[in-house]
Amino acid sequence: MKKLYSILLIFLFTAHNCGNAVNTDGDFVIRLNQVGYLPDDIKTGVILSTVPLDNLELEIIGLENGRMKYNPKFYKTEFKHGRYNYNYKFDFSGLKENGKYIVRAGDKTSYTFEIGNKVYGKLTESLLDFFKVQRCGYTDPLLHEVCHIADATAIYDGDDTLNIKKDLTGGWHDAGDYTKFLNTTAYSTYLLLFAYEFAPDKFGFDNNNNNVADILEEAKIGLDWILRCRYGDKLITQVQDLRDHNVGWRMPEDDPLTYDRPAFAGIGKNLIGIYSATLALASRIWKNKLNYPDFADTCLNTAVKYYSLKNSVPDIDSSGSGMYIDKNYKGKLALAAAELFLSTGKRNYLEEAVSYADSAGSDYWWSWGDINALAHYRLAHFQPRFSDYLKTSLDSFRDYSRKNLFELGVPLSWGTNHTLLGIALIDILYRNLTGDRQYDTLMAAQKDFILGKNPWGISFVYGFGTKFTVNFHHQISYFKGKLPGGFAAGPIEKKLWMISKYRIMITIN
């Protein structure tokens, strides 16, 4: 199952910077970002039609006063989509005045959207709330009670089963189930920290007024847990096995397996990479921003220790139930070495980061296992040539986007929306390094698809847009009837849906 909260962070980062059958209501439908646009954003929409619309009158109406605001550019495309053989695009990037609007096309109107400088503010805060729903243990969770207070009840270390207890409470549940994984928890924690460091003005909000940015408080949940995952010269890579999926849907505090949740020990270069990178980055923030030198030292010393083990461990860890196994480790080790260089100033880390990052190359993708771009971004501050790796990926995404109506950078796959927002993030990083905005149209298309400019006319974020995802594969959401910050992983090709392992059946206790 694609990790939901790791997906969220990329969207959280993107928002400030930038299947079902197609709905068949009438001859044509209007699709655009339902949440809104910053004044200087690229703004486009799509009309899918079963009949030619060459003489269609298209206008944008301001809702505050009812007068026409803008006549967008309107043109037919070469693309067909499902039953819609006549598909059009329109561009209204020139409309920059703040306000709420609708698009009127003939006798039809779009959902309302907004233009303004704060259209994504509430969205960012809501996405961070999702992490609170995912909290496990004594971490003040949202929508559920304290849960899984006995993690972990045993440790599986290779072929050995150790009937010992280790405190592995806390952290976040992986997705809609109640397992916990080191690989993706470290990845998610890293992105929380990275977002804050990259743009503290945007991610430094402190809604509970305790003088600590909310995003850092949430990152601390992840940091505390991954520090508990230290196990000699190994790491705890997973808590609970796949029996979690076989006891029916339940609230986490009602889990019948509460006192039967084993942990798995393992190690690999891939895990060392993301683990050490996260802790090295945390050490700088807790030392320089929060003035907690003891915690900063713990993070840095742990990062140094595990990175030093890299030459004596397998390339890829395969412990546990076989979930989240990386294909490669070099990008993550490059990121670890880069963060250690930034935290210690030791040149050997920079030299190793350069070597690993060159060997890793461009990803041409984005997921929890494909984050070479983060290492290349870090290193480009010291050797600008590393920005070329980002450009190479963006060129590939843009080439693919020109072959489909909604300008998606990759084919639909498992967790499509995660990858789309990763594409947007790579553009943000590349633009930050170079000032080059040639991929901004690509970035806008990925973001707009998430927020409603898609065949279904639905925003994939719970509570945002006129029509948004409601029925998540998420147990707490099922019982509570809501999911603050919930983010749907997105559509997949029908041929993937027909593969049995992707079909989801649920049993309610």
Q: Which two tokens stand for residue 7?
A: 């997906």
pLDDT tens figures, 3-49:
455 555 556 565 555 433 344 456 999 999 999 999 999 999 999 99
Please tell me the chain's helix, strand, coil percentages from 3-state DSSP, rounded to the nearest 5: 40, 15, 45
- Using a 10 angstrom Cβ sphere, with 0-12 exposed, 13-18 middle and 19 or more buried, the burial of residue 198 is middle
Residue 69 parent element (H or E): strand 68-70
Structure token digits, residue 238: 């997973």
User: Can you list the alpha helix ranges (DSSP code H) found in 206-310?
Assistant: 214-228, 269-284, 293-307
C-alpha 148, offset from chain centre: 25
In the prediction, which pLDDT does 496 show? 73
Strand partners, 44: 91
- Write down all domains in the chain, each with its CATH number in brackets: 22-119 (2.60.40.10), 133-412 (1.50.10.10)
List pLDDT tens digits, range 307-352. 999 999 999 999 988 889 999 999 999 999 999 999 999 999 999 9
Beta partners for residue 263, in sequence order: 155, 239
pLDDT band at 301 (very low <50, low <70, confident <90, very high): very high
What confidence score (pLDDT) does residue 495 get? 78
- Contacts of residue 241, defined as CB under 8 A and 6 or more positions apart, other chains included, come to 179, 262, 264, 320, 321
pLDDT above 90 coverage of the chain, percent: 85
Q: Which two tokens stand for residue 258?
A: 């509460």
Higher-confidence residue: 499 or 482?
Answer: 482
User: Would you say residue 413 has pLDDT above 70?
Assistant: yes
The pLDDT of 262-270, averaged and rounded, is 97
Residue type present at position 303: A
Neighbours of 399 (CB within 10 A): 11
